[in-house]
Structure 1
Amino acid sequence: MDGLSIDVVGEGAPVVLLHGALGWGAQTFAEQYVLADTYRLHVVDRRGYGASPHQGAVGWPVDVPDLLALLEQLGGAHVLGHSYGGVVALMAAGQRPDLVRSLVVVEPPMYGISDHPEAQSLTADLWGLAERAPHQDGAEFFADWADLVLGLHPRLVSITVNGWSDLDRIAAEATRVEAMPLDPPVDWDGVRRVSGPTVVASGAWPPENARAATDPKRLRAAAAFRETAREVAERLGVPITQFDASGHNPQLTEAAAFNSLLRRTWG
Protein backbone atom coordinates (compact mmCIF):
# COMPACT_ATOMS: atom_id res chain seq x y z
CA MET A 1 0.00 0.00 0.00
CA ASP A 2 3.03 2.28 -0.26
CA GLY A 3 1.97 5.72 -1.48
CA LEU A 4 -1.76 5.05 -1.13
CA SER A 5 -3.61 8.05 0.32
CA ILE A 6 -6.10 7.10 3.06
CA ASP A 7 -7.98 9.69 5.12
CA VAL A 8 -8.54 8.14 8.54
CA VAL A 9 -11.06 9.79 10.88
CA GLY A 10 -13.08 8.75 13.92
CA GLU A 11 -12.89 5.97 16.48
CA GLY A 12 -14.69 2.66 16.63
CA ALA A 13 -15.18 -0.31 14.33
CA PRO A 14 -13.11 0.07 11.13
CA VAL A 15 -14.80 0.93 7.84
CA VAL A 16 -13.18 1.17 4.39
CA LEU A 17 -14.79 3.42 1.76
CA LEU A 18 -13.86 3.02 -1.92
CA HIS A 19 -14.83 5.59 -4.55
CA GLY A 20 -15.59 4.97 -8.23
CA ALA A 21 -14.45 6.53 -11.50
CA LEU A 22 -14.16 10.28 -12.14
CA GLY A 23 -13.90 11.06 -8.42
CA TRP A 24 -11.89 10.56 -5.24
CA GLY A 25 -12.55 9.56 -1.67
CA ALA A 26 -13.44 12.79 0.11
CA GLN A 27 -15.59 13.97 -2.79
CA THR A 28 -17.54 10.74 -3.18
CA PHE A 29 -18.16 10.27 0.55
CA ALA A 30 -18.45 13.88 1.69
CA GLU A 31 -21.75 13.14 3.46
CA GLN A 32 -20.45 10.02 5.24
CA TYR A 33 -17.84 11.77 7.40
CA VAL A 34 -20.53 12.32 10.04
CA LEU A 35 -20.34 8.57 10.70
CA ALA A 36 -16.92 9.13 12.29
CA ASP A 37 -18.87 9.79 15.48
CA THR A 38 -19.14 6.01 15.89
CA TYR A 39 -16.81 4.39 13.35
CA ARG A 40 -13.20 4.68 12.29
CA LEU A 41 -13.45 5.62 8.63
CA HIS A 42 -10.69 4.84 6.12
CA VAL A 43 -11.55 6.94 3.05
CA VAL A 44 -9.31 5.69 0.25
CA ASP A 45 -8.06 7.48 -2.86
CA ARG A 46 -7.59 4.61 -5.32
CA ARG A 47 -4.29 4.59 -7.20
CA GLY A 48 -4.14 7.33 -9.81
CA TYR A 49 -6.91 9.33 -8.08
CA GLY A 50 -6.89 12.16 -5.57
CA ALA A 51 -3.69 12.18 -3.55
CA SER A 52 -2.63 8.64 -4.53
CA PRO A 53 0.09 8.89 -7.18
CA HIS A 54 -0.14 7.18 -10.54
CA GLN A 55 2.26 4.21 -10.45
CA GLY A 56 1.75 2.14 -13.57
CA ALA A 57 -1.49 0.15 -13.73
CA VAL A 58 -4.76 1.74 -12.65
CA GLY A 59 -7.98 -0.04 -11.72
CA TRP A 60 -8.99 -3.32 -10.15
CA PRO A 61 -5.73 -5.25 -10.86
CA VAL A 62 -3.99 -2.97 -8.34
CA ASP A 63 -7.00 -1.87 -6.29
CA VAL A 64 -7.93 -5.37 -5.13
CA PRO A 65 -4.47 -6.14 -3.67
CA ASP A 66 -4.47 -2.69 -2.07
CA LEU A 67 -7.84 -3.32 -0.43
CA LEU A 68 -6.85 -6.79 0.77
CA ALA A 69 -3.62 -5.45 2.26
CA LEU A 70 -5.54 -2.72 4.09
CA LEU A 71 -8.12 -5.21 5.39
CA GLU A 72 -5.36 -7.49 6.64
CA GLN A 73 -3.70 -4.56 8.38
CA LEU A 74 -6.99 -3.65 10.07
CA GLY A 75 -7.84 -7.22 11.01
CA GLY A 76 -11.01 -6.96 8.91
CA ALA A 77 -13.46 -4.11 8.35
CA HIS A 78 -16.84 -3.12 7.02
CA VAL A 79 -16.50 -2.26 3.31
CA LEU A 80 -18.47 0.29 1.26
CA GLY A 81 -17.80 0.51 -2.47
CA HIS A 82 -19.42 3.05 -4.77
CA SER A 83 -19.55 2.33 -8.52
CA TYR A 84 -16.09 1.09 -9.64
CA GLY A 85 -15.22 0.86 -5.95
CA GLY A 86 -18.09 -1.60 -5.62
CA VAL A 87 -16.47 -3.83 -8.24
CA VAL A 88 -13.21 -3.77 -6.28
CA ALA A 89 -15.07 -4.52 -3.03
CA LEU A 90 -16.87 -7.51 -4.57
CA MET A 91 -13.63 -8.95 -5.95
CA ALA A 92 -11.81 -8.56 -2.64
CA ALA A 93 -14.72 -10.01 -0.67
CA GLY A 94 -14.78 -13.01 -2.97
CA GLN A 95 -11.11 -13.67 -2.32
CA ARG A 96 -11.10 -13.03 1.44
CA PRO A 97 -14.63 -13.04 2.88
CA ASP A 98 -13.11 -13.58 6.33
CA LEU A 99 -11.76 -10.01 6.23
CA VAL A 100 -15.09 -8.36 5.34
CA ARG A 101 -17.41 -7.71 8.29
CA SER A 102 -20.17 -6.39 6.04
CA LEU A 103 -20.40 -5.33 2.42
CA VAL A 104 -22.29 -2.44 0.80
CA VAL A 105 -21.98 -1.84 -2.95
CA VAL A 106 -23.68 0.94 -4.91
CA GLU A 107 -24.36 0.34 -8.63
CA PRO A 108 -21.16 -1.49 -9.60
CA PRO A 109 -20.79 -0.96 -13.38
CA MET A 110 -20.10 -4.59 -14.29
CA TYR A 111 -22.61 -4.46 -17.13
CA GLY A 112 -21.15 -7.51 -18.84
CA ILE A 113 -22.71 -9.86 -16.26
CA SER A 114 -26.26 -8.74 -17.14
CA ASP A 115 -28.32 -10.16 -19.98
CA HIS A 116 -30.50 -7.05 -20.07
CA PRO A 117 -30.40 -5.49 -23.58
CA GLU A 118 -29.51 -2.02 -22.30
CA ALA A 119 -26.60 -3.37 -20.26
CA GLN A 120 -25.35 -5.42 -23.19
CA SER A 121 -25.62 -2.43 -25.55
CA LEU A 122 -23.67 -0.23 -23.15
CA THR A 123 -21.05 -2.94 -22.65
CA ALA A 124 -20.37 -3.04 -26.39
CA ASP A 125 -20.11 0.75 -26.60
CA LEU A 126 -17.73 0.91 -23.63
CA TRP A 127 -15.38 -1.63 -25.18
CA GLY A 128 -15.37 0.67 -28.20
CA LEU A 129 -14.52 3.59 -25.92
CA ALA A 130 -11.65 1.56 -24.46
CA GLU A 131 -10.19 1.25 -27.96
CA ARG A 132 -10.44 5.03 -28.52
CA ALA A 133 -9.19 6.04 -25.07
CA PRO A 134 -5.42 5.76 -25.75
CA HIS A 135 -5.81 8.40 -28.47
CA GLN A 136 -7.82 10.86 -26.35
CA ASP A 137 -6.96 13.38 -23.66
CA GLY A 138 -8.84 13.47 -20.36
CA ALA A 139 -11.50 15.94 -21.48
CA GLU A 140 -12.20 14.09 -24.75
CA PHE A 141 -12.47 10.80 -22.89
CA PHE A 142 -14.77 12.31 -20.26
CA ALA A 143 -17.10 13.65 -22.95
CA ASP A 144 -17.45 10.14 -24.42
CA TRP A 145 -17.67 8.46 -21.01
CA ALA A 146 -20.27 10.86 -19.61
CA ASP A 147 -22.36 10.51 -22.76
CA LEU A 148 -22.39 6.71 -22.53
CA VAL A 149 -22.33 5.98 -18.80
CA LEU A 150 -24.47 8.85 -17.48
CA GLY A 151 -26.33 10.06 -20.55
CA LEU A 152 -25.21 13.64 -19.91
CA HIS A 153 -26.13 16.33 -22.42
CA PRO A 154 -23.06 17.74 -24.27
CA ARG A 155 -23.77 21.23 -22.89
CA LEU A 156 -23.61 19.89 -19.32
CA VAL A 157 -20.41 18.03 -20.16
CA SER A 158 -18.86 21.28 -21.43
CA ILE A 159 -19.93 23.19 -18.30
CA THR A 160 -18.50 20.42 -16.12
CA VAL A 161 -15.12 20.37 -17.89
CA ASN A 162 -14.84 24.17 -17.78
CA GLY A 163 -15.28 24.02 -14.01
CA TRP A 164 -12.78 21.23 -13.38
CA SER A 165 -10.29 21.43 -10.54
CA ASP A 166 -6.86 19.82 -10.66
CA LEU A 167 -8.30 16.79 -8.85
CA ASP A 168 -11.00 16.48 -11.51
CA ARG A 169 -8.36 16.43 -14.24
CA ILE A 170 -6.39 13.79 -12.35
CA ALA A 171 -9.56 11.70 -11.98
CA ALA A 172 -10.41 11.98 -15.68
CA GLU A 173 -6.94 10.82 -16.66
CA ALA A 174 -7.07 7.89 -14.21
CA THR A 175 -10.47 6.81 -15.52
CA ARG A 176 -9.17 7.02 -19.10
CA VAL A 177 -6.41 4.47 -18.43
CA GLU A 178 -7.90 2.19 -15.75
CA ALA A 179 -8.94 -1.41 -16.43
CA MET A 180 -12.52 -1.77 -17.63
CA PRO A 181 -14.81 -3.20 -14.91
CA LEU A 182 -17.40 -4.70 -17.25
CA ASP A 183 -16.99 -8.42 -16.49
CA PRO A 184 -14.37 -8.81 -13.76
CA PRO A 185 -13.43 -12.16 -12.15
CA VAL A 186 -15.62 -12.15 -9.02
CA ASP A 187 -15.81 -15.27 -6.85
CA TRP A 188 -19.53 -15.09 -6.09
CA ASP A 189 -19.42 -18.10 -3.78
CA GLY A 190 -16.74 -16.32 -1.79
CA VAL A 191 -18.78 -13.12 -1.55
CA ARG A 192 -21.73 -15.12 -0.23
CA ARG A 193 -19.48 -16.29 2.63
CA VAL A 194 -19.12 -12.77 4.04
CA SER A 195 -20.31 -13.21 7.61
CA GLY A 196 -22.09 -9.88 8.01
CA PRO A 197 -24.87 -8.26 5.98
CA THR A 198 -24.47 -7.65 2.26
CA VAL A 199 -26.34 -4.72 0.70
CA VAL A 200 -26.68 -3.91 -3.00
CA ALA A 201 -27.98 -0.35 -3.50
CA SER A 202 -29.27 1.42 -6.60
CA GLY A 203 -30.96 4.66 -7.50
CA ALA A 204 -34.33 4.87 -9.23
CA TRP A 205 -32.86 7.47 -11.61
CA PRO A 206 -35.85 9.82 -11.64
CA PRO A 207 -35.74 12.29 -14.56
CA GLU A 208 -34.52 15.77 -13.64
CA ASN A 209 -36.43 17.38 -16.49
CA ALA A 210 -38.51 16.63 -19.58
CA ARG A 211 -35.43 15.92 -21.73
CA ALA A 212 -34.06 13.39 -19.26
CA ALA A 213 -37.42 11.61 -19.16
CA THR A 214 -37.25 10.81 -22.89
CA ASP A 215 -33.56 10.91 -23.83
CA PRO A 216 -32.57 7.42 -25.10
CA LYS A 217 -29.01 7.57 -23.76
CA ARG A 218 -30.14 8.74 -20.34
CA LEU A 219 -32.76 5.99 -20.20
CA ARG A 220 -30.20 3.40 -21.30
CA ALA A 221 -27.71 4.56 -18.67
CA ALA A 222 -30.34 4.34 -15.94
CA ALA A 223 -31.56 0.91 -17.04
CA ALA A 224 -28.03 -0.48 -17.31
CA PHE A 225 -27.11 0.60 -13.77
CA ARG A 226 -30.39 -0.64 -12.28
CA GLU A 227 -30.44 -3.98 -14.08
CA THR A 228 -26.79 -4.71 -13.34
CA ALA A 229 -27.36 -3.95 -9.65
CA ARG A 230 -30.33 -6.33 -9.71
CA GLU A 231 -28.18 -9.04 -11.26
CA VAL A 232 -25.53 -8.58 -8.55
CA ALA A 233 -28.20 -8.75 -5.84
CA GLU A 234 -29.69 -11.88 -7.40
CA ARG A 235 -26.32 -13.62 -7.56
CA LEU A 236 -25.76 -12.85 -3.88
CA GLY A 237 -29.27 -13.80 -2.84
CA VAL A 238 -30.11 -10.42 -1.29
CA PRO A 239 -32.89 -7.91 -2.03
CA ILE A 240 -31.93 -4.75 -3.87
CA THR A 241 -32.11 -1.55 -1.84
CA GLN A 242 -33.44 1.26 -4.02
CA PHE A 243 -33.21 4.99 -3.36
CA ASP A 244 -36.16 6.48 -5.20
CA ALA A 245 -34.98 10.11 -5.30
CA SER A 246 -31.46 9.32 -6.51
CA GLY A 247 -29.46 8.49 -9.58
CA HIS A 248 -25.94 7.07 -9.30
CA ASN A 249 -25.00 8.83 -6.03
CA PRO A 250 -27.55 8.05 -3.30
CA GLN A 251 -24.81 8.48 -0.69
CA LEU A 252 -24.91 12.21 -1.57
CA THR A 253 -28.45 12.88 -2.81
CA GLU A 254 -30.19 10.91 -0.04
CA ALA A 255 -27.44 11.12 2.55
CA ALA A 256 -29.62 10.84 5.68
CA ALA A 257 -31.38 7.69 4.48
CA PHE A 258 -28.14 6.23 3.12
CA ASN A 259 -26.28 6.86 6.37
CA SER A 260 -29.13 5.28 8.36
CA LEU A 261 -28.74 2.20 6.16
CA LEU A 262 -25.00 2.14 6.86
CA ARG A 263 -25.49 2.44 10.63
CA ARG A 264 -27.94 -0.48 10.57
CA THR A 265 -25.59 -2.55 8.43
CA TRP A 266 -22.46 -1.78 10.42
CA GLY A 267 -24.24 -2.02 13.77
Structure 2
Amino acid sequence: MSVELHAVDTGGDGIPLVVVHGLMGSADNWRSHVKQWQRKRRVVAVDLRNHGRSPHAAGMRYAEMADDLLACLDRLGIQRCHLLGHSMGGKVVMTLARRAPERVVSLIVADIAAVRYGHGHDAIFAAMHHVEAHAPSNRRDVDALLAEHVEDKGTRLFLATNLARGEDGRMGWRLGLEHIEAAYEAIRDVPDGEGAYPGPALVLRGGRSDYVSDAMLPGLRELLPRAEVVTLDAGHWLHAERPSDFQAAVNDFIAAVEG
Protein backbone atom coordinates (compact mmCIF):
# COMPACT_ATOMS: atom_id res chain seq x y z
CA MET A 1 0.00 0.00 0.00
CA SER A 2 1.44 3.36 -1.01
CA VAL A 3 2.06 6.21 1.42
CA GLU A 4 0.68 9.69 0.68
CA LEU A 5 3.85 11.73 0.41
CA HIS A 6 4.17 15.31 1.56
CA ALA A 7 5.14 17.55 -1.36
CA VAL A 8 6.13 21.18 -1.83
CA ASP A 9 4.44 22.26 -5.07
CA THR A 10 5.28 25.69 -6.50
CA GLY A 11 2.66 25.56 -9.23
CA GLY A 12 3.44 27.13 -12.57
CA ASP A 13 3.56 26.29 -16.25
CA GLY A 14 5.69 24.05 -18.41
CA ILE A 15 6.89 20.52 -17.86
CA PRO A 16 7.25 20.04 -14.08
CA LEU A 17 10.55 19.21 -12.42
CA VAL A 18 10.09 16.71 -9.58
CA VAL A 19 12.91 16.54 -7.01
CA VAL A 20 13.59 13.57 -4.70
CA HIS A 21 16.04 13.81 -1.77
CA GLY A 22 18.45 11.18 -0.46
CA LEU A 23 18.69 9.17 2.75
CA MET A 24 18.11 11.33 5.86
CA GLY A 25 17.24 14.27 3.58
CA SER A 26 13.99 16.05 2.87
CA ALA A 27 12.35 18.51 0.49
CA ASP A 28 13.56 21.29 2.81
CA ASN A 29 17.16 20.63 1.75
CA TRP A 30 16.25 21.75 -1.77
CA ARG A 31 14.59 25.08 -0.96
CA SER A 32 17.26 27.30 -2.53
CA HIS A 33 17.27 25.25 -5.73
CA VAL A 34 13.48 25.20 -5.89
CA LYS A 35 13.40 29.00 -5.64
CA GLN A 36 15.66 29.22 -8.70
CA TRP A 37 13.92 26.58 -10.79
CA GLN A 38 10.41 27.88 -10.09
CA ARG A 39 11.21 31.04 -12.03
CA LYS A 40 10.91 29.00 -15.22
CA ARG A 41 8.64 26.04 -14.39
CA ARG A 42 6.53 24.19 -11.87
CA VAL A 43 8.69 22.43 -9.31
CA VAL A 44 7.63 19.70 -6.89
CA ALA A 45 9.94 18.57 -4.07
CA VAL A 46 8.75 15.49 -2.19
CA ASP A 47 9.47 13.92 1.18
CA LEU A 48 9.89 10.16 0.83
CA ARG A 49 8.27 7.85 3.39
CA ASN A 50 9.89 8.06 6.83
CA HIS A 51 11.43 11.42 5.88
CA GLY A 52 10.49 15.06 6.32
CA ARG A 53 6.76 15.58 6.78
CA SER A 54 5.68 12.32 5.11
CA PRO A 55 4.13 9.47 7.11
CA HIS A 56 6.23 6.77 8.74
CA ALA A 57 5.72 3.24 7.40
CA ALA A 58 7.52 -0.09 7.36
CA GLY A 59 9.24 -1.14 4.15
CA MET A 60 11.60 0.89 1.98
CA ARG A 61 12.17 -1.26 -1.07
CA TYR A 62 12.68 0.83 -4.16
CA ALA A 63 9.52 -0.56 -5.73
CA GLU A 64 7.54 0.64 -2.70
CA MET A 65 9.06 4.11 -2.74
CA ALA A 66 8.58 4.42 -6.51
CA ASP A 67 4.92 3.47 -6.04
CA ASP A 68 4.61 6.24 -3.41
CA LEU A 69 6.12 8.72 -5.85
CA LEU A 70 3.92 7.64 -8.74
CA ALA A 71 0.81 7.98 -6.55
CA CYS A 72 2.00 11.47 -5.60
CA LEU A 73 2.33 12.43 -9.28
CA ASP A 74 -1.18 11.11 -9.91
CA ARG A 75 -2.57 13.09 -6.98
CA LEU A 76 -0.93 16.28 -8.27
CA GLY A 77 -2.15 15.70 -11.81
CA ILE A 78 1.35 15.33 -13.25
CA GLN A 79 1.30 13.02 -16.25
CA ARG A 80 4.88 13.64 -17.43
CA CYS A 81 7.82 15.33 -15.76
CA HIS A 82 11.55 15.80 -15.51
CA LEU A 83 12.61 13.63 -12.58
CA LEU A 84 15.65 14.42 -10.40
CA GLY A 85 16.89 12.24 -7.56
CA HIS A 86 19.94 12.50 -5.31
CA SER A 87 21.58 9.47 -3.69
CA MET A 88 18.83 7.13 -2.42
CA GLY A 89 16.36 9.35 -4.28
CA GLY A 90 18.33 8.64 -7.45
CA LYS A 91 17.58 4.95 -7.07
CA VAL A 92 13.92 5.78 -6.50
CA VAL A 93 13.69 7.80 -9.71
CA MET A 94 15.61 5.17 -11.69
CA THR A 95 13.10 2.59 -10.47
CA LEU A 96 10.13 4.74 -11.47
CA ALA A 97 11.66 5.50 -14.87
CA ARG A 98 12.19 1.78 -15.58
CA ARG A 99 8.68 0.86 -14.52
CA ALA A 100 6.77 3.82 -16.01
CA PRO A 101 8.99 5.41 -18.69
CA GLU A 102 6.00 7.07 -20.31
CA ARG A 103 5.72 9.36 -17.26
CA VAL A 104 9.33 10.59 -17.45
CA VAL A 105 10.44 13.25 -19.95
CA SER A 106 14.02 13.08 -18.69
CA LEU A 107 15.93 11.64 -15.76
CA ILE A 108 18.59 13.37 -13.66
CA VAL A 109 20.52 11.16 -11.24
CA ALA A 110 22.79 12.88 -8.73
CA ASP A 111 25.78 10.97 -7.32
CA ILE A 112 24.45 7.43 -7.15
CA ALA A 113 25.02 4.32 -9.26
CA ALA A 114 22.94 1.24 -9.93
CA VAL A 115 24.94 -0.91 -7.51
CA ARG A 116 24.58 -2.40 -4.06
CA TYR A 117 26.64 -0.34 -1.65
CA GLY A 118 28.42 -1.47 1.51
CA HIS A 119 27.50 -0.51 5.05
CA GLY A 120 28.21 3.18 5.50
CA HIS A 121 25.75 4.46 8.09
CA ASP A 122 26.49 2.43 11.24
CA ALA A 123 28.09 5.41 13.00
CA ILE A 124 25.22 7.68 11.94
CA PHE A 125 22.59 5.30 13.32
CA ALA A 126 24.56 5.00 16.56
CA ALA A 127 24.83 8.79 16.83
CA MET A 128 21.12 9.32 16.26
CA HIS A 129 20.17 6.71 18.84
CA HIS A 130 22.61 8.38 21.24
CA VAL A 131 20.66 11.63 20.82
CA GLU A 132 17.36 9.80 21.36
CA ALA A 133 18.64 8.28 24.59
CA HIS A 134 19.67 11.65 26.05
CA ALA A 135 16.73 13.77 24.79
CA PRO A 136 18.62 17.08 24.70
CA SER A 137 16.81 20.40 24.88
CA ASN A 138 18.94 22.42 22.45
CA ARG A 139 20.87 22.03 19.19
CA ARG A 140 24.25 22.67 20.79
CA ASP A 141 23.81 19.61 23.00
CA VAL A 142 22.55 17.59 20.03
CA ASP A 143 25.72 18.41 18.11
CA ALA A 144 27.90 17.43 21.07
CA LEU A 145 26.12 14.07 21.32
CA LEU A 146 26.39 13.45 17.57
CA ALA A 147 30.09 14.34 17.66
CA GLU A 148 30.76 11.36 19.94
CA HIS A 149 30.08 9.14 16.90
CA VAL A 150 30.35 11.41 13.83
CA GLU A 151 33.49 13.49 13.42
CA ASP A 152 32.51 15.39 10.26
CA LYS A 153 30.80 18.70 11.10
CA GLY A 154 29.01 18.87 7.74
CA THR A 155 27.41 15.47 8.30
CA ARG A 156 26.25 16.53 11.77
CA LEU A 157 24.70 19.72 10.39
CA PHE A 158 22.93 17.68 7.72
CA LEU A 159 21.52 15.26 10.30
CA ALA A 160 20.38 18.21 12.41
CA THR A 161 18.00 19.27 9.63
CA ASN A 162 15.85 16.36 10.82
CA LEU A 163 15.41 17.70 14.36
CA ALA A 164 12.02 18.67 15.76
CA ARG A 165 11.10 19.96 19.21
CA GLY A 166 8.52 17.91 21.07
CA GLU A 167 5.78 19.17 23.36
CA ASP A 168 8.09 18.54 26.31
CA GLY A 169 10.66 20.92 24.81
CA ARG A 170 13.12 18.13 24.03
CA MET A 171 14.76 17.68 20.63
CA GLY A 172 14.06 14.50 18.66
CA TRP A 173 14.09 13.11 15.15
CA ARG A 174 11.11 13.73 12.89
CA LEU A 175 12.06 10.88 10.56
CA GLY A 176 11.07 7.24 11.00
CA LEU A 177 14.47 6.11 12.22
CA GLU A 178 13.34 2.64 13.28
CA HIS A 179 11.84 1.92 9.85
CA ILE A 180 14.89 3.31 8.03
CA GLU A 181 17.27 1.18 10.09
CA ALA A 182 15.10 -1.94 9.65
CA ALA A 183 15.04 -1.39 5.88
CA TYR A 184 18.72 -0.53 5.50
CA GLU A 185 19.55 -3.69 3.54
CA ALA A 186 16.88 -2.76 0.97
CA ILE A 187 18.14 0.85 0.83
CA ARG A 188 21.66 -0.39 0.06
CA ASP A 189 20.35 -2.49 -2.82
CA VAL A 190 20.15 -1.82 -6.57
CA PRO A 191 17.18 0.01 -8.13
CA ASP A 192 14.10 -2.09 -8.83
CA GLY A 193 12.52 -2.71 -12.22
CA GLU A 194 13.63 -4.44 -15.40
CA GLY A 195 15.33 -3.30 -18.57
CA ALA A 196 16.64 0.15 -19.38
CA TYR A 197 15.10 3.59 -19.27
CA PRO A 198 15.17 4.66 -22.96
CA GLY A 199 14.83 8.42 -22.48
CA PRO A 200 17.42 11.19 -22.06
CA ALA A 201 19.37 11.04 -18.81
CA LEU A 202 21.97 13.09 -16.97
CA VAL A 203 24.26 11.60 -14.34
CA LEU A 204 25.85 14.25 -12.12
CA ARG A 205 28.64 12.92 -9.94
CA GLY A 206 31.03 14.44 -7.43
CA GLY A 207 34.68 14.23 -8.38
CA ARG A 208 35.58 13.88 -4.69
CA SER A 209 32.87 11.28 -4.03
CA ASP A 210 33.26 7.53 -4.39
CA TYR A 211 29.57 6.89 -5.03
CA VAL A 212 29.91 6.87 -8.85
CA SER A 213 33.36 5.61 -9.77
CA ASP A 214 34.52 5.08 -13.34
CA ALA A 215 34.17 1.33 -12.77
CA MET A 216 30.45 1.79 -12.05
CA LEU A 217 29.67 3.70 -15.26
CA PRO A 218 29.26 0.67 -17.60
CA GLY A 219 26.56 -0.79 -15.33
CA LEU A 220 24.89 2.59 -15.05
CA ARG A 221 24.85 2.93 -18.83
CA GLU A 222 23.11 -0.44 -19.12
CA LEU A 223 20.23 1.04 -17.15
CA LEU A 224 20.52 4.52 -18.72
CA PRO A 225 21.88 3.98 -22.25
CA ARG A 226 21.44 7.65 -23.21
CA ALA A 227 23.12 8.99 -20.10
CA GLU A 228 25.37 12.05 -20.25
CA VAL A 229 27.86 12.05 -17.36
CA VAL A 230 28.99 15.35 -15.82
CA THR A 231 31.52 15.48 -12.99
CA LEU A 232 31.51 18.42 -10.56
CA ASP A 233 34.33 19.38 -8.21
CA ALA A 234 32.41 18.27 -5.15
CA GLY A 235 31.73 15.45 -2.74
CA HIS A 236 28.52 13.45 -2.35
CA TRP A 237 26.33 16.47 -1.47
CA LEU A 238 27.26 18.13 -4.76
CA HIS A 239 24.04 20.18 -4.94
CA ALA A 240 24.93 21.84 -1.62
CA GLU A 241 28.68 22.14 -2.22
CA ARG A 242 28.48 23.47 -5.78
CA PRO A 243 24.96 24.90 -6.08
CA SER A 244 25.65 27.19 -9.05
CA ASP A 245 27.42 24.46 -11.04
CA PHE A 246 24.69 21.99 -10.17
CA GLN A 247 21.98 24.45 -11.25
CA ALA A 248 23.75 25.17 -14.52
CA ALA A 249 24.19 21.49 -15.38
CA VAL A 250 20.53 20.71 -14.70
CA ASN A 251 19.29 23.79 -16.55
CA ASP A 252 21.46 23.13 -19.61
CA PHE A 253 20.35 19.51 -19.77
CA ILE A 254 16.62 20.30 -19.47
CA ALA A 255 16.93 23.09 -22.06
CA ALA A 256 18.55 20.65 -24.50
CA VAL A 257 15.84 18.04 -23.86
CA GLU A 258 13.02 20.54 -24.37
CA GLY A 259 14.71 22.01 -27.44
Provide the TM-score with structure 1 as the length reference: 0.70
Once the 2 structures are TM-superposed, how far is the Cα of residue 225 of structure 1 from its aligned partner? 3.8
Q: For 1:247-266, list aligned pairs within 5 A.
A: 247-266=235-254
When residues 30 and 96 of structure 1 are mapped into structure 2, their CA distance, relative to the original with a 3 A threshold, is same
Query: Which residue of structure 2 aligns with residue 51 of structure 1?
Result: 53
For residues 56 and 155 of structure 2, what CA distance do their matches in structure 1 show?
Answer: 26
Query: Which residue of structure 2 aligns with residue 203 of structure 1?
Result: 206
When residues 171 and 202 of structure 1 are mapped into structure 2, their CA distance, relative to the original with a 3 A threshold, is farther
Bigger helix fraction: 1
When residues 254 and 190 of structure 1 are mapped into structure 2, their CA distance, relative to the original with a 3 A threshold, is same
Once the 2 structures are TM-superposed, how far is the Cα of residue 262 of structure 1 from its aligned partner? 1.8
- Per chain length, whose mean CA-contact separation is higher, i.e. which structure has more relative contact order (CA < 8 Å, sep 6+)? 1
Query: Which residue of structure 1 aligns with residue 143 of structure 2?
Result: none
- Does residue 87 of structure 2 align to residue 83 of structure 1? yes
Identity between Structure 1 and Structure 2 (%): 20
Unaligned runs of 5+ in 2: 132-148, 166-171
Once the 2 structures are TM-superposed, how far is the Cα of residue 86 of structure 1 from its aligned partner? 0.3
Q: For 1:71-110, list aligned pairs within 5 A.
A: 71-72=73-74, 73-108=77-112, 110=114
Query: Which residue of structure 2 aligns with residue 183 of structure 1?
Result: 189
Q: For 1:1-267, list aligned pairs within 5 A.
A: 3-12=4-13, 13-28=15-30, 30-72=32-74, 73-108=77-112, 110-112=114-116, 123=118, 125=119, 138-139=128-129, 154=151, 156=153, 160=157, 165-166=163-164, 169-171=173-175, 173=177, 175-179=180-184, 180-187=186-193, 189-191=195-197, 193-194=198-199, 197-205=200-208, 222-227=209-214, 230-235=217-222, 236-237=224-225, 238-244=227-233, 246-267=234-255
For residues 113 and 153 of structure 2, what CA distance do their matches in structure 1 show?
Answer: 22
Unaligned runs of 5+ in 1: 113-121, 142-151, 206-221
For residues 262 and 162 of structure 1, what CA distance do their matches in structure 2 show?
Answer: 27
- Confirm or deny: 8 A CA contact 1:109 1:182 kept in the other structure: no
Query: Which residue of structure 2 aligns with residue 215 of structure 1?
Result: none
For residues 175 and 71 of structure 2, what CA distance do their matches in structure 1 show?
Answer: 23
When residues 10 and 186 of structure 1 are mapped into structure 2, their CA distance, relative to the original with a 3 A threshold, is same
Once the 2 structures are TM-superposed, how far is the Cα of residue 257 of structure 1 from its aligned partner? 1.8
Once the 2 structures are TM-superposed, how far is the Cα of residue 39 of structure 1 from its aligned partner? 1.1
RMSD: 3.5
Q: Following TM superposition, where does structure 1 have runs of at least 4 consecutive aligned residues deviating by more than 6 angstroms?
A: 161-164
